[in-house]
Structure 1
Amino acid sequence: MHPSPYLPRTVVAAALALFLVPALVLFGAAPRAHALDNGLARTPPMGFNDWNAFGCDVSEQLIEQTADYLVSSGLKDAGYAYVNIDDCWMASQRDSGGNLVPDRTKFPDGISGTAAYVHGKGLKLGIYESAGTATCAGYPGSLNHEQQDANSFASWGVDYLKYDNCNNQGVPWQQRYNAMRDALHSTGRPIVFSMCEWGEDSVWTWGAATGNLWRTTGDINASFGSMLSIYHSNVQLARYAGPGAWNDPDMLEVGNGMSFTEDRSEFSLWSEMAAPLIAGTDLRKATPATLSLYGNRSVIAVDQDPLGKQGTQVSSSGGLDVLTKPLSNGDVSVVLFNENSSAATISTTAAAVGLPAASSYKLTNLWSNVVSSTSGGISASVPGHGSVMYRISAGSGSSTGTTHPLVGASSHRCLDAAGGATAAGTKIDIWDCSGGGNQAVTVTAAGELRLYGGTQCLDAYDNQTASGTKVELWTCNGGANQKWQLNPNGTITGNQSGLCLDVTGGDQAAGNVNGTALELWSCNGGANQQWSLG
């Protein structure tokens, strides 16, 4: 979580990036260690950690409110189970018996009371400590207190321990981490062991016998450059991951300041790499756009697939990356990721991503839910810093001729013919999804988006092609202004204008309310131009 006082984090990261990972790629490495046999984390842990958004400003209220929100938002049902407390939760000194003491100002009911609340919501509680004499923020560490502290954690009802690396006094990594592993085991309580060891000492080569997950790098921050650097390191380590033992590229920064496109790439890449999905943002204040990422169950299913394979990189020429991940039912998940700042076409083949020979393949876009088929080529135009993610199987399929609501990412509301009216010229807006015919969009082979069972079409007003052109309902007439393209990147563009279907002002929270009109606008990567078939 924080830099070591004995070796600067930047030195460690640079040394690993320059020497260790290339050596693994070129010369191979020892087989993955036998996994820790505690029966936990058979799929990558999912949940929340307060550090990235709050630092030391942790409290019982924050943890309990986050637990409430995981339930009310549906994220608990999507798999987010752990509510994890990071550094600064304890008093500055141990008590007279040498025990850790919760800060009673921050946690008036103690950790045990907080755990009881979280457990009452059907969730699990995580705690933080360091494998040194002090935590990274200077609170008492667990070095030489392992069993005493593990007993405290177990008695409080803790389910997950994040164990950091600060103030380690130069004691060997494995010695310190194995001591806590054994102490946790001795308590008899099932506690997931997360080793925040910063990717030092080639932890991936021995981590599986010690913990359930291990950090593979230094800390992440909310920038594309940081995310990209960590991805480059973590993607090389697929051979070491599996059920019960996971490479951990750090918490998700989704919602903390990157663009929507970059956030979606991070969530796609972390899921493809079978990484823990630990939200590092204030979920209580998350926008619908952020929640559309955290809550995408199709992408989560790739991360949580019980086969437990981490995705591998098939190609990465010129920063145009192809990743593939085999799934338990025989499908393959493929991510096309564009590291560059400009849009580019990324292509691969069914054979290259490990699919069996077949006459055709069904591609389900996991962000837009659009289904298509291919005879073997897999290709998409991918925006700069963006990604396209498919689930692919032998067979065929198409969204053409099917009827769905169209859900906007920025609002989680549906494309809607205002007021349920059917007259030509009716405004097209967004509204709470209701299942009505005025929200039932049929995709036709001609590229039309028809409502009301196919009698009326989505229409760019008066054949206009300028940004700001309103979108309305009109009698289907085959005109170019009624033809639309559902793109792999989640946008919908007008064939005549090349502009994106846009929620007016939807790049601001106030622009996503019921009744907000749709228009054509220059494509800009905003969440208010992203759509999925419901």
Structure 2
Amino acid sequence: MLRFGLCVFFFLFLPNNVKLLDNGLARTPPMGWMSWGYYMCGDKCKEKPEKCLDEKLILSVVDAFYNEGYQEAGYEYIIIDDCWSEQKRDKNRRLVPDKKRFPRGMRFIADYIHARGLKFGMYTNIAAKTCMLYPGSRGYFDIDAKTFAEWGVDYLKVDGCFVEEDFLNIAYIKLGQHLNNTGRPMVYSCSWPYYIQYIHHKKPDYKAIAPHCNMWRNYHDVYLSWEAVKIIIQHYAEEYGVLSAHHGPGMWNDPDMIIFGTNSLTESQSRVHLAVYVMLSAPILLSCDMSKVTAYEKKLLLNLDLIAVGQDRLGIMAKPHSLEYGVTLWVKRHLPMKGDIYHSYSFAIVNFDSEQHLIHFFPKVYGIDSADGYTVMDVFSGEFLRNVTLHDPMQVTVPPDDVIMYTFFPL
């Protein structure tokens, strides 16, 4: 911890040597698609063609975003995760895309994406190898940053496998400097706090991390099950006090991907998954075969009232309140405002119990304060239910593994 403290002191208080991340990006949480959650490594194309990470897959996601309304709803980043490269660098020490799976290279994919008004993301690791043992960036930060910039990358996910704690605490800062130096703005997604906490068993210093990354993973990977989603949501409820303090425009906690389109969730579980993520102001990154997104999942993903809560410019992380066994009320203050005084509020009542619950609560207790009252909208249906005063209670029945979500707009 002493060495970590010295590293942090060095980088925070010697501005002539270290620049903070300065890209002006991710002022709202990024939205898009990432390959890992569903396709994983995706390099066994002969054995598992349905899980092949290749050019055809990436272009199919681009076309789905462009043609099916996702782009208009705010989904813009298409991100290739681990296992995209050849096993060796070229003679100039540059990374090389897998020649069979990406025959026209990454610049071709970037140009295809950019021509449709979307953005391109890629992956590396700060170690010598990636988590799946492909070439990593350690020793090549300058070369790789320039390569990603030349390829037209707009978003870089950077993992932290296989590195010692001392290097971890400086590597993300150094790589961020090299990304800044390219002159190409790239959303910088770090895994710094995850590896500090779960590999090196120390408490992450978010005050030191936040100025150097646009977003960061701080909990385990999601996998394709409802239990995995629940565990992540419960972690964010338990760690709210720590995680909310350094979270907002340009710097986001990342609870990992949305697992729609994988046949893993019921409709009610899908509601919970997306509702809590937007309440958290979390990145919304799908990972799936886009052709397998169900009609109901697509309806949720394109629900602009839901997206508006997640993309609110204030970027406040919803606060959890335990109401009774299995039931949590998440409360988020956001725009629009009335007269620059009274905020709107969203309330998401999440029931993880196996039985339905009849819930009573007074919104005034959780922050609403306009004496003229509020009009209440059901976020999932888009219907305005009724107007309420500061003194009116709310009563709602929440089924098991489900959520009821309301937005209160000041009158």
Amino acid across the alignment from 2:124 = E
Point out 4+ residue stretches in structure 1 off by more than 6 angstroms: none
CA distance in 2, matches of 1:191, 1:56: 23
Indicate if the aligned counterparts of 2:189 and 2:214 stay in contact, CA closer than 8 A.
yes
Question: Equivalences for 1:228-377 in 2 at 5 Å?
Answer: 228-235=230-237, 236=240, 237-256=243-262, 257-329=264-336, 330-358=343-371, 360-373=373-386, 374-375=388-389, 376-377=392-393
Shift of 1:205: 3.6
Corresponding residue number in structure 2 for 1:84:
79
CA distance in 2, matches of 1:310, 1:247: 9
Please list every run of 5 or more consecutive structure 1 residues that lacks an aligned counterpart in the other structure.
1-33, 396-534
Corresponding residue number in structure 2 for 1:499:
none
Corresponding residue number in structure 1 for 2:46:
none
Deviation per CA, 1:400-446: give whole Å up to 9, x if none. Answer: xxxxxxxxxxxxxxxxxxxxxxxxxxxxxxxxxxxxxxxxxxxxxxx
Indicate how the Cα distance of structure 1 residues 347 and 239 shifts in structure 2: closer, same or farther if over 3 A, else same.
Answer: farther
State whether structure 2 residue 403 is matched by structure 1 residue 387: yes
Q: Which has the larger radius of gyration?
A: 1
State whether structure 2 residue 125 is matched by structure 1 residue 130: yes
CA distance in 1, matches of 2:195, 2:246: 15
Corresponding residue number in structure 2 for 1:162:
157
Indicate how the Cα distance of structure 1 residues 94 and 284 shifts in structure 2: closer, same or farther if over 3 A, else same.
Answer: same
CA distance in 2, matches of 1:217, 1:35: 24
Q: How many residues align?
A: 362
Indicate if the aligned counterparts of 2:280 and 2:310 stay in contact, CA closer than 8 A.
yes
Deviation per CA, 1:317-357: give whole Å up to 9, x if none. Answer: 31211111111222111111111122112332221221114
Shift of 1:169: 4.2
Indicate if the aligned counterparts of 1:365 and 1:390 stay in contact, CA closer than 8 A.
yes
Shift of 1:203: 5.4
CA distance in 2, matches of 1:378, 1:172: 52
Corresponding residue number in structure 2 for 1:113:
108
234-243 or 192-201, which moves further after superposition?
Answer: 192-201
Q: Secondary structure at the match of 2:366?
A: coil
Q: Secondary structure at the match of 2:365?
A: coil
Q: TM-score, normalised by structure 2?
A: 0.85
Q: Secondary structure at the match of 1:239?
A: coil
Shift of 1:79: 0.1
CA distance in 1, matches of 2:322, 2:21: 32
Greater RCO structure (CA 8 Å; 6+ sep) = 2
Indicate if the aligned counterparts of 1:314 and 1:322 stay in contact, CA closer than 8 A.
yes
Indicate if the aligned counterparts of 2:160 and 2:195 stay in contact, CA closer than 8 A.
no
Amino acid across the alignment from 1:259 = T
CA distance in 2, matches of 1:297, 1:234: 24
Indicate how the Cα distance of structure 1 residues 35 and 271 shifts in structure 2: closer, same or farther if over 3 A, else same.
Answer: farther
Indicate how the Cα distance of structure 1 residues 229 and 123 shifts in structure 2: closer, same or farther if over 3 A, else same.
Answer: same
Deviation per CA, 1:219-255: give whole Å up to 9, x if none. Answer: 0112222112211222412222100000000011123
Please list every run of 5 or more consecutive structure 2 residues that lacks an aligned counterpart in the other structure.
1-18, 43-52, 197-203, 337-342
2:217 corresponds, among 212, 215, 221, to 215
Indicate if the aligned counterparts of 1:204 and 1:216 stay in contact, CA closer than 8 A.
no
Amino acid across the alignment from 1:341 = S
Indicate if the aligned counterparts of 2:21 and 2:180 stay in contact, CA closer than 8 A.
no
Amino acid across the alignment from 1:251 = M
Indicate if the aligned counterparts of 1:322 and 1:348 stay in contact, CA closer than 8 A.
no
Indicate how the Cα distance of structure 1 residues 157 and 359 shifts in structure 2: closer, same or farther if over 3 A, else same.
Answer: closer
Indicate if the aligned counterparts of 2:121 and 2:153 stay in contact, CA closer than 8 A.
yes
Corresponding residue number in structure 1 for 2:98:
103
Indicate if the aligned counterparts of 2:20 and 2:177 stay in contact, CA closer than 8 A.
no
Amino acid across the alignment from 1:392 = F
Q: What's the % identity of the aligned pairs?
A: 33
Shift of 1:170: 4.4
Shift of 1:139: 0.2
CA distance in 1, matches of 2:373, 2:192: 45
Indicate if the aligned counterparts of 2:22 and 2:180 stay in contact, CA closer than 8 A.
no
Indicate how the Cα distance of structure 1 residues 203 and 384 shifts in structure 2: closer, same or farther if over 3 A, else same.
Answer: farther
Indicate if the aligned counterparts of 1:305 and 1:328 stay in contact, CA closer than 8 A.
yes
CA distance in 2, matches of 1:227, 1:300: 19
Indicate how the Cα distance of structure 1 residues 205 and 345 shifts in structure 2: closer, same or farther if over 3 A, else same.
Answer: farther
2:172 corresponds, among 173, 177, 186, to 177
Instruction: Select the structure that is richer in helix.
Output: 2
Indicate if the aligned counterparts of 1:207 and 1:213 stay in contact, CA closer than 8 A.
no
Shift of 1:182: 0.7
